[in-house]
Amino acid sequence: MRTARLDAGLSLSRMAELTHFSKPYLGQVETGARTATMDVVDAYERVLGAGMWRKEITHPGLARIKGEQRLSALVQSIRSGSPDVFSKRPTAHATDVAVGTRMDPDGIRQFRQWMTEGETATLRTNSLSVLAKLPGRDNAELVVQVLEEDPKVRRLCLASDISRLTQVDWKTALRVADDLPSHPDPRKLARKAAKEAVDPKDTESRWCGSYMLRHLAPVVGR
Protein backbone atom coordinates (compact mmCIF):
# COMPACT_ATOMS: atom_id res chain seq x y z
CA MET A 1 0.00 0.00 0.00
CA ARG A 2 2.86 2.35 0.79
CA THR A 3 4.47 1.65 -2.58
CA ALA A 4 1.23 2.38 -4.42
CA ARG A 5 0.81 5.65 -2.51
CA LEU A 6 4.37 6.76 -3.23
CA ASP A 7 4.03 5.77 -6.88
CA ALA A 8 1.02 8.08 -7.06
CA GLY A 9 3.07 10.92 -5.59
CA LEU A 10 0.98 11.24 -2.43
CA SER A 11 2.38 12.00 1.01
CA LEU A 12 1.05 10.14 4.03
CA SER A 13 -0.53 13.39 5.24
CA ARG A 14 -2.34 13.87 1.95
CA MET A 15 -3.53 10.27 1.95
CA ALA A 16 -4.90 10.77 5.46
CA GLU A 17 -6.86 13.79 4.22
CA LEU A 18 -8.25 11.92 1.23
CA THR A 19 -9.19 8.75 3.10
CA HIS A 20 -10.36 10.39 6.35
CA PHE A 21 -8.15 8.13 8.46
CA SER A 22 -5.52 9.52 10.81
CA LYS A 23 -1.94 9.81 9.61
CA PRO A 24 -0.49 7.77 12.54
CA TYR A 25 -3.01 5.00 11.92
CA LEU A 26 -2.24 4.79 8.20
CA GLY A 27 1.47 4.80 8.98
CA GLN A 28 1.01 1.77 11.23
CA VAL A 29 -1.04 -0.01 8.56
CA GLU A 30 1.57 0.63 5.87
CA THR A 31 4.42 -0.65 8.05
CA GLY A 32 2.47 -3.73 9.11
CA ALA A 33 2.16 -2.72 12.76
CA ARG A 34 -1.62 -2.87 12.35
CA THR A 35 -3.72 -5.02 10.04
CA ALA A 36 -5.31 -3.32 7.06
CA THR A 37 -9.08 -3.51 7.47
CA MET A 38 -11.40 -3.70 4.47
CA ASP A 39 -12.41 -0.09 5.15
CA VAL A 40 -8.80 1.03 4.75
CA VAL A 41 -8.27 -1.09 1.64
CA ASP A 42 -11.47 0.28 0.12
CA ALA A 43 -10.35 3.84 0.93
CA TYR A 44 -6.96 3.32 -0.73
CA GLU A 45 -8.61 1.81 -3.81
CA ARG A 46 -11.01 4.76 -3.95
CA VAL A 47 -8.07 7.18 -4.02
CA LEU A 48 -5.54 5.17 -6.04
CA GLY A 49 -7.84 2.97 -8.09
CA ALA A 50 -8.03 -0.81 -8.17
CA GLY A 51 -4.88 -0.67 -10.30
CA MET A 52 -2.89 -0.28 -7.07
CA TRP A 53 -2.77 -4.10 -7.01
CA ARG A 54 -1.83 -4.34 -10.67
CA LYS A 55 1.41 -6.17 -11.51
CA GLU A 56 3.98 -4.33 -13.59
CA ILE A 57 5.63 -5.47 -16.81
CA THR A 58 8.80 -7.53 -16.60
CA HIS A 59 11.02 -5.21 -18.63
CA PRO A 60 14.37 -4.96 -16.78
CA GLY A 61 14.63 -1.22 -17.44
CA LEU A 62 11.16 -0.26 -16.20
CA ALA A 63 11.09 3.35 -14.96
CA ARG A 64 9.25 4.09 -11.72
CA ILE A 65 8.96 7.76 -10.77
CA LYS A 66 8.16 8.10 -7.08
CA GLY A 67 7.51 11.08 -4.86
CA GLU A 68 5.73 14.35 -5.46
CA GLN A 69 8.94 16.29 -6.13
CA ARG A 70 10.12 13.97 -8.89
CA LEU A 71 6.66 13.74 -10.41
CA SER A 72 6.30 17.52 -10.42
CA ALA A 73 9.66 17.88 -12.15
CA LEU A 74 8.64 15.32 -14.78
CA VAL A 75 5.31 17.06 -15.39
CA GLN A 76 7.07 20.41 -15.81
CA SER A 77 9.52 18.82 -18.26
CA ILE A 78 6.65 17.50 -20.37
CA ARG A 79 4.86 20.84 -20.36
CA SER A 80 8.06 22.47 -21.62
CA GLY A 81 8.20 20.02 -24.53
CA SER A 82 10.79 17.55 -23.22
CA PRO A 83 9.62 13.92 -22.89
CA ASP A 84 12.40 13.06 -20.41
CA VAL A 85 12.18 9.42 -19.30
CA PHE A 86 9.21 8.73 -21.58
CA SER A 87 11.58 8.72 -24.56
CA LYS A 88 14.12 6.40 -22.95
CA ARG A 89 12.49 3.33 -21.39
CA PRO A 90 9.10 1.85 -20.44
CA THR A 91 7.31 3.62 -17.61
CA ALA A 92 5.36 1.99 -14.79
CA HIS A 93 1.57 1.98 -14.82
CA ALA A 94 1.46 4.09 -11.66
CA THR A 95 3.77 6.65 -13.28
CA ASP A 96 1.55 6.87 -16.37
CA VAL A 97 -1.53 7.44 -14.21
CA ALA A 98 0.16 9.94 -11.89
CA VAL A 99 1.52 12.00 -14.79
CA GLY A 100 -1.65 11.79 -16.85
CA THR A 101 -3.86 13.07 -14.06
CA ARG A 102 -1.55 16.06 -13.59
CA MET A 103 -1.64 17.11 -17.25
CA ASP A 104 -3.36 20.30 -18.38
CA PRO A 105 -4.81 20.51 -21.94
CA ASP A 106 -1.44 21.60 -23.35
CA GLY A 107 0.27 18.61 -21.76
CA ILE A 108 -2.33 16.24 -23.17
CA ARG A 109 -1.86 17.74 -26.63
CA GLN A 110 1.88 17.18 -26.26
CA PHE A 111 1.35 13.50 -25.51
CA ARG A 112 -1.03 13.19 -28.47
CA GLN A 113 1.65 14.63 -30.73
CA TRP A 114 4.35 12.34 -29.34
CA MET A 115 2.07 9.33 -29.72
CA THR A 116 1.75 9.88 -33.47
CA GLU A 117 4.98 11.71 -34.33
CA GLY A 118 7.48 10.64 -31.66
CA GLU A 119 10.92 9.80 -33.03
CA THR A 120 11.16 6.46 -31.23
CA ALA A 121 8.73 3.61 -30.70
CA THR A 122 9.42 3.91 -26.96
CA LEU A 123 8.21 7.52 -26.88
CA ARG A 124 5.15 6.75 -28.99
CA THR A 125 4.27 3.73 -26.86
CA ASN A 126 4.72 5.49 -23.52
CA SER A 127 2.66 8.45 -24.73
CA LEU A 128 -0.09 6.07 -25.83
CA SER A 129 -0.08 4.38 -22.43
CA VAL A 130 -0.60 7.73 -20.69
CA LEU A 131 -3.43 8.81 -23.00
CA ALA A 132 -5.11 5.39 -22.87
CA LYS A 133 -5.86 5.89 -19.19
CA LEU A 134 -7.43 9.33 -19.63
CA PRO A 135 -11.15 9.92 -20.24
CA GLY A 136 -12.55 11.23 -23.49
CA ARG A 137 -13.61 9.62 -26.74
CA ASP A 138 -11.10 11.65 -28.75
CA ASN A 139 -8.22 10.17 -26.75
CA ALA A 140 -9.64 6.64 -27.04
CA GLU A 141 -10.13 6.89 -30.80
CA LEU A 142 -6.59 8.15 -31.39
CA VAL A 143 -5.16 5.39 -29.17
CA VAL A 144 -7.01 2.77 -31.22
CA GLN A 145 -5.88 4.36 -34.48
CA VAL A 146 -2.22 4.23 -33.45
CA LEU A 147 -2.50 0.63 -32.23
CA GLU A 148 -3.95 -0.38 -35.58
CA GLU A 149 -1.57 1.62 -37.78
CA ASP A 150 1.81 1.59 -35.96
CA PRO A 151 3.20 -1.98 -35.88
CA LYS A 152 6.14 -1.12 -33.61
CA VAL A 153 3.88 0.46 -30.99
CA ARG A 154 1.39 -2.40 -31.29
CA ARG A 155 4.15 -4.97 -30.67
CA LEU A 156 5.44 -3.16 -27.59
CA CYS A 157 1.93 -2.72 -26.17
CA LEU A 158 1.10 -6.39 -26.71
CA ALA A 159 4.41 -7.47 -25.18
CA SER A 160 3.73 -5.24 -22.17
CA ASP A 161 0.31 -6.79 -21.61
CA ILE A 162 1.66 -10.32 -22.09
CA SER A 163 4.49 -9.80 -19.60
CA ARG A 164 2.27 -8.05 -17.06
CA LEU A 165 -0.59 -10.54 -17.23
CA THR A 166 1.47 -13.73 -17.17
CA GLN A 167 4.81 -12.48 -15.78
CA VAL A 168 6.91 -14.11 -18.50
CA ASP A 169 10.30 -12.50 -19.10
CA TRP A 170 10.48 -9.58 -21.52
CA LYS A 171 12.27 -11.53 -24.27
CA THR A 172 9.53 -14.15 -24.22
CA ALA A 173 6.84 -11.48 -24.19
CA LEU A 174 8.25 -9.91 -27.36
CA ARG A 175 8.37 -13.30 -29.06
CA VAL A 176 4.79 -14.10 -28.07
CA ALA A 177 3.61 -10.69 -29.28
CA ASP A 178 4.65 -11.84 -32.76
CA ASP A 179 2.99 -15.26 -32.38
CA LEU A 180 0.35 -15.30 -29.63
CA PRO A 181 -0.43 -19.05 -29.77
CA SER A 182 3.25 -19.72 -28.94
CA HIS A 183 2.73 -18.53 -25.35
CA PRO A 184 3.84 -21.21 -22.83
CA ASP A 185 0.27 -21.24 -21.45
CA PRO A 186 -2.10 -19.78 -24.08
CA ARG A 187 -5.21 -20.64 -22.08
CA LYS A 188 -3.96 -18.64 -19.12
CA LEU A 189 -3.19 -15.71 -21.40
CA ALA A 190 -6.67 -15.95 -22.93
CA ARG A 191 -8.33 -15.90 -19.50
CA LYS A 192 -6.35 -12.81 -18.53
CA ALA A 193 -7.00 -11.16 -21.90
CA ALA A 194 -10.75 -11.64 -21.48
CA LYS A 195 -10.68 -9.45 -18.38
CA GLU A 196 -8.50 -6.86 -20.11
CA ALA A 197 -10.97 -6.62 -22.98
CA VAL A 198 -13.62 -5.10 -20.70
CA ASP A 199 -11.37 -2.78 -18.66
CA PRO A 200 -13.42 0.45 -18.47
CA LYS A 201 -10.46 2.66 -17.56
CA ASP A 202 -7.79 1.74 -20.11
CA THR A 203 -8.29 1.85 -23.89
CA GLU A 204 -4.93 0.17 -24.49
CA SER A 205 -5.88 -2.78 -22.27
CA ARG A 206 -9.26 -3.16 -23.97
CA TRP A 207 -7.78 -3.14 -27.46
CA CYS A 208 -4.90 -5.48 -26.62
CA GLY A 209 -7.20 -7.85 -24.72
CA SER A 210 -9.60 -8.08 -27.67
CA TYR A 211 -6.72 -8.50 -30.14
CA MET A 212 -5.19 -11.33 -28.11
CA LEU A 213 -8.52 -13.15 -27.77
CA ARG A 214 -9.07 -13.06 -31.53
CA HIS A 215 -5.66 -14.55 -32.23
CA LEU A 216 -5.83 -17.12 -29.41
CA ALA A 217 -9.27 -18.42 -30.38
CA PRO A 218 -7.93 -21.24 -32.58
CA VAL A 219 -5.82 -22.76 -29.80
CA VAL A 220 -7.69 -22.27 -26.51
CA GLY A 221 -10.46 -24.68 -27.50
CA ARG A 222 -8.20 -27.64 -28.16
pLDDT (tens digit per residue) in 166-201:
999 999 999 999 999 999 999 999 999 999 999 888
Residue 32's domain comprises 2-53
Q: Averaged over 113-124, what is the pLDDT?
A: 98
Which 3-state string (H, E, C) describes 180-217? HHHCCCHHHHHHHHHHHCCCCCCHHHHHHHHHHHHHHH
In a domain, 101, yes or no: no
Higher-pLDDT residue of 118, 64: 118
Residue 121 lies in a domain: no
Domain at 8, CATH number: 1.10.260.40
Asked if the structure places residue 215 within a domain, the reply is yes
Burial class (CB in 10 A: 0-12, 13-18, 19+), 194: middle
Rounded average pLDDT over 199-213: 94
pTM summary value: 0.79
Residue 77 is assigned to a structural domain of this protein: no
- Domain membership of residue 176 (yes or no) is yes
Residues 6+ apart with CB under 8 A from 35: 29
**Residue range 130-164, pLDDT digits in tens:** 999 998 999 999 999 999 999 999 999 999 999 99
CB within 8 Å of 8: residues ≥ 6 apart: 47, 48, 94, 97, 98
How many domains does the structure of the chain reveal?
A: 2
Of 53, 69, 84, the one marking the end of a domain is 53
42-56, 58-72, 91-105, 108-122 — which one is most confidently predicted on average? 108-122
The residue among 53, 73, 95 that closes a domain is 53
Classify residue 211: in a domain, yes or no: yes
